Amino acid sequence: MMQEVSGAAVVAPAVARAERWLASRQLENGCFRPDGHVFHRELQGGLNEDGEISNVALTAYIIASLLESTSPLPPNLIRNSLSCLRALPPLKSTPNTPRIYAQAVITYTFMKLRRYEESTRAEQGPKSEPMLKGEEELQVLVEFLQMAKRSGEYVWWETDSLATSVEATGYALLALAECPPSLREHCARDVAGAARWLATQRNSAGGFISTQDTLVALEGLARWRSILPPPSAVTVTVQSSPAVETLQLTADSTVPKIVKLPASPQTNIIIKGAGCALVQATRAYNTLEDGGAQRALRVRVRTDGAFDCVAAACFCAAVLEVCAVWWDALPPMSLIEVSLPSGFAADAERLYSQLDNYSCKY
């Protein structure tokens, strides 16, 4: 969000208050105090709720966000945060998956801190005191690159789930994008492999596993698109007998080009020219279910209700009735999750009134 309001735009009062609140959560050791509990596994970011690694990674999250602020940060806040980041436990011979994910966030934060320090020195001159020690951020980056998995043309950072692996690889692209111009060519060596691996994980809609990893991965890919030289003239020819489609990619090609092809046992893609292009092939098909097998569970959903209209505004007040039927033996416990369309919410008072209206069968 901070990137959307940066620049010449006026920072909203709510954002300024959020920055002050985050700064107030910093502890004496420089780390930030966890607040609340995250129950959603994918929103935990691949980290355990407790532990020293989790606290350091949370600090990296917060500092990376605050560095996008349009107002200068207190120097003590950054120095104290660096004390927390430097307190990360030493790397073991074989890093565990929470460490790999945490290292991805920490590396990205160190690279952003170097850029922030350079911009501050350019504004304040020699009186600006250095915060990072020597080439500290490059040492962290090298350590993180050694954790990468490599197979053929692919490079990625593997955690305990595909979603967090995609997110960690996205943070790797963001960290490599912060390399100074003198090292840009060296840092770009792993970018193509990471981009190829991310491309293999995309779904047919262009996203990845969840919203969080999709956001980080797309931001990493977009950052490098703005750094690498744009394609001057790339011609992509797609052959799927009997259809043949030819696409021209230029520096102005920002919207994905979609080609629908007929079913064919083989599709050939020919790319000519200079530049970098990403091609994704999606095959959609239907499967016929076996009608002879009897399902052990049937769920029936029925909506009943009218629209309540007040003046010129109408509100849907439908009653949702969900019924589940088992043919086999009842399980020890069952759970039905009902998802409502965007913009709809349950009537809390009416929902809680149903807590006493339950049935049990033994």
- Over the stretch 191-247, which tens digit does the pLDDT of each residue have? 888 998 998 898 888 889 888 899 999 999 888 877 776 666 788 899 888 889 898
Q: What is the pLDDT at residue 2? A: 47
Judged by phi (left if over 0) then psi (alpha if -120 to 50, else beta), residue 7 lies in left
Measured CA to CA, the distance from residue 202 to residue 282 in angstroms comes to 10
Please check whether residue 327 is in contact with residue 294, taking contact to mean a CB–CB distance below 8 angstroms.
yes
Judged by phi (left if over 0) then psi (alpha if -120 to 50, else beta), residue 201 lies in alpha
Encode 103-138: b = buried (16+ Cβ within 10 Å), e = exposed.
bbbbbbbbbbbbebbeebeeeeeeeeeebbeeebbb
Q: What is the pLDDT at residue 1? A: 44
One-letter amino acid of 235? T
Topology of 2-227 in CATH? Glycosyltransferase (1.50.10)
Q: Tell me: cis bond preceding 13? Omega within 30 of 0 counts.
A: no
Q: Specify the domain boundaries for CATH 1.50.10.20 within the chain.
A: 2-227
- Side by side, the strands of the sheet bearing 268-274 are 243-249, 233-240, 268-274
Quote the strand ranges of the chain, DSSP E: 149-151, 154-156, 233-240, 243-249, 268-274, 297-304, 307-310, 313-316, 319-326
Please check whether residue 212 is in contact with residue 239, taking contact to mean a CB–CB distance below 8 angstroms.
no
Q: What is the pLDDT at residue 360? A: 46
Strand partners, 272: 235
pTM of the model: 0.72
The terminus-to-terminus CA distance of the chain in angstroms comes to 52
Of 303, 304, 256, the residue nearest 278 (C-alpha): 256
One-letter amino acid of 49? E
Q: What is the pLDDT at residue 337? A: 78
Q: Which residues of the chain have pLDDT under 70?
A: 1-11, 38-52, 92-98, 229-232, 254, 288-318, 330-331, 356-362
Residue 24 C-alpha from the chain's centroid? 26
Q: What is the pLDDT at residue 4? A: 46
